[in-house]
Each structure stands twice: as C-alpha cells, then as structure tokens.
C-alpha cells in the first residue's frame, strides 16, 4: 500500500483501498523523463590521488571520448607548432639537421638550429641564404626600396634638397658624397645591397648582404679564370697600391649548383681605421652579377667564423 495513502485523515476501509489502487496505476503509467537519467553509482571512499590524473578524472566523472581527446590534442599541437611555443617547433625541425625545414623553407619564419633563411625575389633575380636567427634586417634598405617603388609609380623622392646629396637614381647615398678624382669618370654608380642583416645595436661593420648589379652581356665567371685568378684580380681592384689598403687572400674556391657556377673568397682588408674579415660569393646570371658578402671586424672573426662561413656556403640563386 502506498505510503502516501497511509496516515491521511478520513481514509479508512474502502476509501483507503481505493487510494492505494489509484496510486499503483499512476506509477505504472508514469513516463520516464529523458532529462533525468537514472543516477549511476556514486564514488565512495576517500577522494582521488591528485598525483594520478587519470584516476582523478575517473573519480570525478567519465573520461572524454577518444575522438574529443584526439581532436583536442591535435589542436593543442597545432597551436604549439604554429606559434613555436617554448621553441618546440624549432626543436622538431632541427632533429634532421634542418634539412626538411630548408626544403620547405619553414626556417624563413621559424629559427632552426639557431639560423633563419632569407628568400628574395624570383624569376631570374631570386636568391636565398641563411643567417644567424638573432640578427635583424636593415630597415634603411627596406625604406629606400619602398621609396624607389613609390618613385617608379610617379611619386617624387622626399629627401633633402641639395643635389649633391643624391645618387644617380634621385635618392640620397648611404654614405657622404665623395668628389671623384679628375681621372675618374663622373656619374659612376655604386650598387647598394638589396638585403642586409646584422646584430641589433651594432655599427653595421658586422653583417651579411647581397648586391645585384648589371654586368656586360655574356659575362661568366670562368672568363676571369679559376677561383684564385679571379680572387687576385678582385683584390687588386679592391686595394690598389696607392689606396692605403692592404688585402690578404686566405682561400678561393669554386662550387656548382647544377649549371650555376659560384666563386667563394675569404680575405681580409686592412685600412687606417678598420680591419675586416670577409667571405664573399660571386655568381652571374642573365647579365647580372650577384655578390654575397659576409663580414665582421677581424677581432670578432673567431666568434663569427662558423656562422659567416655557413651563410656563404648556403647562398644560391633560385
């Protein structure tokens, strides 16, 4: 008999039996509500061991589904890799020595084994090389390139007013103007780097840069002879006897990338106020001479040698 009927005043005899019969029928017809599932067994005993994550989750509720766990893990991994959180992407890309990162050019944005990659241009004038990841791009060159692009669209240069402060393209020279000697032809152009990188907060003596300049039609490196012959001719023009400069050649080597020929020279140049160590790479294509140069003060050569030699070895046309 239902406990809700027993004890109610006025329910005796037949009325009490009728109340019990009605309550039994109402329980039999009562639907089960989907919003209130049957409760499972309650955890019993003391709380979980917080040092055991799985046990803690199992004690507090059911484990997440496999699909949700996998998707959550992949999402977290994607965020970590894309943002190089904690350097994990750099670590993973460096496991094979950075070879995969180099092929994918992932090291353009993410440092790999302490280096990044510069990729510049395309369509016959492109090149790439690596440089120390802590070095920064020369913003002056980027600003000047933007102003040149503006001038090419019809906008005038907006620099100083003295004509002597401008180079032949209408833009101010990077260094103070020098009056040419009487025997020198006026109007000779000095090519500027298209890209340059160096340590932040330094004077610019320590850097890597690339110059792309036009050259006579049909020129090739081997027309200068072998690497050493070409190096001696280059240093003779860099430090002629009357210049007060002293150039010393340490090595001259050639390498090829497919059909592309490169000459790599290591040398020092000493003047009254400077003493620099250089590693230069020369190559020519489609009437253009590409010159990669890595330099530092001679006093820093021992610290910078590995990085500068690696940067020179990585230089190639694309």
Q: pLDDT tens, 204-240?
A: 889 999 999 999 998 999 999 999 999 999 999 999 9
51 vs 41, more confident: 51
Alpha helices, H only, the chain: 14-29, 53-60, 66-83, 88-93, 99-104, 139-152, 227-238, 301-314
CATH topology of domain 191-317: Protein Transport Mog1p; Chain A (3.40.1000)
CA distance 49 to 97: 42
CA distance 130 to 294: 11
CB distance 210 to 217 below 8 Å: no
Would the pLDDT of 196 be above 50?
A: yes
Q: Calculate mean pLDDT across residues 240-269.
A: 95
Half-sphere exposure (Cβ direction) of 44: Cα atoms closer than 13 Å:
2
Q: Calculate mean pLDDT across residues 179-183.
A: 44
CB distance 273 to 203 below 8 Å: no
* Residue 63: pLDDT band with limits 50, 70, 90: low
- 40 membership: H or E segment, kind and range: none
CA distance 134 to 206: 13
280 vs 104, more confident: 280
CA distance 142 to 161: 22
23 vs 304, more confident: 304
* Residue 203: pLDDT band with limits 50, 70, 90: confident
CA distance 80 to 36: 40
Range of 139-148, 201-210, 239-248 with top mean pLDDT: 239-248
List the one residue out of 153, 179, 112 whose CA is nearest residue 314: 112
Dihedral angle over CA of 160, 143, 145, 187, nearest 10: 30
Domain boundary assignment for the chain: 191-317
Would the pLDDT of 179 be above 50?
A: no
Burial zone of 279 (CB within 10 Å; 0-12 exposed, 13-18 middle, 19+ buried): buried
297 vs 174, more confident: 297
């Amino acid at each position: 008999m239902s406990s809700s009927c027993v004890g109610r005043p006025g329910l005796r005899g037949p009325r009490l039996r009728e109340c019990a019969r009605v309550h039994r029928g109402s329980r039999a017809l009562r639907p089960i509500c989907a919003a209130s599932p049957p409760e499972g067994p309650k955890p019993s005993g003391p709380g979980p061991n917080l040092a055991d994550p799985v046990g803690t989750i199992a004690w507090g509720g059911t484990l997440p589904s496999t699909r949700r766990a996998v998707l959550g893990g992949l999402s977290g991994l994607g965020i970590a890799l894309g943002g190089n959180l904690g350097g994990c992407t750099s670590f993973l890309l460096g496991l094979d020595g950075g070879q995969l990162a180099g092929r994918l050019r992932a090291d353009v944005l993410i440092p790999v084994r302490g280096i990044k990659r510069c990729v510049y241009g395309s369509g016959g004038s492109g090149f790439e090389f690596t440089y120390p990841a802590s070095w920064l791009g020369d913003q002056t060159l980027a600003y000047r390139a933007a102003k040149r692009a503006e001038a090419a669209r019809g906008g005038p240069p907006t620099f100083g007013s003295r004509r002597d402060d401008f180079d032949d393209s209408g833009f101010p020279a990077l260094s103070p103007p020098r009056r040419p000697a009487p025997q020198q032809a006026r109007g000779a152009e000095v090519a500027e780097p298209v890209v340059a990188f160096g340590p932040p907060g330094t004077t610019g003596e320590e850097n890597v840069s690339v110059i792309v300049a036009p050259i006579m039609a049909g020129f090739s490196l081997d027309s200068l002879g072998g690497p050493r012959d070409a190096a001696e001719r280059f240093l003779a023009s860099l430090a002629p006897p009357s210049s007060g400069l002293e150039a010393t050649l340490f090595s001259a080597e050639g390498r090829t990338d497919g059909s592309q020929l490169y000459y790599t020279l290591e040398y020092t140049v000493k003047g009254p106020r400077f003493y620099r160590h250089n590693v230069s790479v020369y190559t020519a294509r489609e009437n253009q001479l590409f010159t990669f140069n890595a330099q530092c003060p001679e006093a820093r050569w021992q610290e910078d040698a590995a990085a500068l030699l690696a940067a020179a070895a990585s230089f190639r046309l694309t």
